[in-house]
Amino acid sequence: MSLPSDFLWGFATAAYQVEGATQQDGRGATIWDTFCAIPGKIADGTDGSVACDSYNRTSEDIALLKRLGATAYRFSLSWARIIPLGGRNDPINQVGIDHYVKFVDDLLEAGIVPFITLLHWDVPDALDKRYGGLLNREEFPLDFEHYARVVFKAIPKCKNWITFNEPWCSSILGYSTGFFAPGRTSNRAKSPVGDSSREPWIVGHNLLVAHGRAVKVYRDEFKATNKGQIGITLNGDYTYPWDPEDPRDVEAANRKIEFAISWFADPIYLGKYPDSMRKQLGDRLPEFTPEELALVHGSNDFYGMNHYTADYVKHGNGNPPPEDYLGDLSTHPYNKHGECIGPETQSFWLRPNPEGFRGLLNWLSKRYNYPAIYVTENGTSIKGENDLKEPEILNDVFRYEYFRDYINAMAKASSEDGVNVKGYMAWSLMDNFEWAEGYETRFGVTYVNYADGQQRKEKYSAKKMKELFDAVIKKD
């Protein structure tokens, strides 16, 4: 089993999770700053105002990447640092741009290939207040297009661009369950506003159109000169039928992936929403105008894949409630025969299942005609890790074994199944602000001691990563 000789590997982070410095150098507020200020929304009552202080420690972070042998680093920009109020007629903050320009220069000088995500969930709060943010079909795509153009122009040295991280999470967790910012949901115990039956589908549609607009700008105005590539990052679990003998479970297992991934990937690669979604959602799923479809269809130069886990899937009763977003089904850690998908972690939704990674790489490749795939996130939390102290917390053998097994599964998918996988970014470079879970859940290969000046110390998994990739990347 092997990966191609030019395979890129490294680590990933997101601006709000690591940067901190939320009041520094003219940065505007984001929906996550606002959401974190609402009591009860974050498990430990914290926020991203300091996080890992990466905004002020870029040289330290680059030195860490270099020490670990990484050849790539995926990070996101804070839109509100660059255009504090977010809009196409709002002032641009040159200090914010200069910060990212220098960061990219420094990464390249260290021999590390930057992958930039334009938006990793932290929408400028001013846009949310001005016109409803992601709910606005006219304004949001135009403001995002403008922001993208500003950034493409400022950072021509970056050759790898991702428009959005996990639009599923922005749509479902932000506008259906209310678990993520801006926290809209039909559940009035959680939010005074929101319609879980309609809003997530509107948001998903608007994100696709905004993605298409940004890609068109890149291709029309920058690609010929800068010679880069652009795509979107989608998240999804692999699925197995709860009862493989029941055709309804087999169908539901496939439908689960369609509702998570194909919701966004089908319009990009196939030019329409999945039939299973249209059948269940009817007119709640927006229709593309011809102009929108022209922007969206064919708008990926590569497929960005975020993947962590797998589920057993059981079919529903054929009568899903209006707020159902899974596709009339339920997910389970055990199947009909009592077999477990994988061991527990700190994250209720995550159980390691490396064969599922290979399975999903194949599923995507077959459905979308073998696109170039970059694995833009993959990793695990560890049950009880945050309760450990040094040096025990540095000995994350469980995480190392997760990476070992998943990387080997990916190498087999590449060499034995013909999957066109070109890069891999482990989540995450360091422990960080884990959204609604605050700092109680750790995903980092590097331990961050938040109480003692954000000190960074490599864990066992960090030190072994280069060895894992050296073993499977072909030598020229």
Strand, coil or helix: what is 253?
A: helix
Annotated catalytic, 109? no
Instruction: Kindly state the tokens that stand for 244.
Output: 């493989």
Q: Could you give the CA distance from residue 271 to residue 202 in angstroms, rounded to a whole number?
A: 17
Q: Could you give the CA distance from residue 134 to residue 211 in angstroms, rounded to a whole number?
A: 12
Per DSSP, 185 falls in state: -
Residue 182, preceding peptide bond in cis (omega within 30° of 0) = yes
| Choice among 19, 145, 166, 458 that is catalytic | 166
**Parallel, antiparallel, or unpaired: how do β-strands 373-377 and 421-427 relate?**
parallel
Nearest partner of 205 among 292, 131, 113, 302, judged by Cα: 292
Q: Could you give the CA distance from residue 435 to residue 240 in angstroms, rounded to a whole number?
A: 28
Q: Which amino acid is at 15?
A: A
Strand, coil or helix: what is 289?
A: coil
412 within 8 A of 358, measured Cβ to Cβ: yes
Instruction: For 400, list phi and psi in degrees, rounded to 5.
Output: -55, -45
| Choice among 19, 145, 199, 377 that is catalytic | 377
377 within 8 A of 233, measured Cβ to Cβ: yes
**6: number of Cβ within 10 Å:** 11
Q: Could you give the CA distance from residue 75 to residue 254 in angstroms, rounded to a whole number?
A: 31
Annotated catalytic, 377? yes
**Which sequence positions are flagged as catalytic?**
166, 377
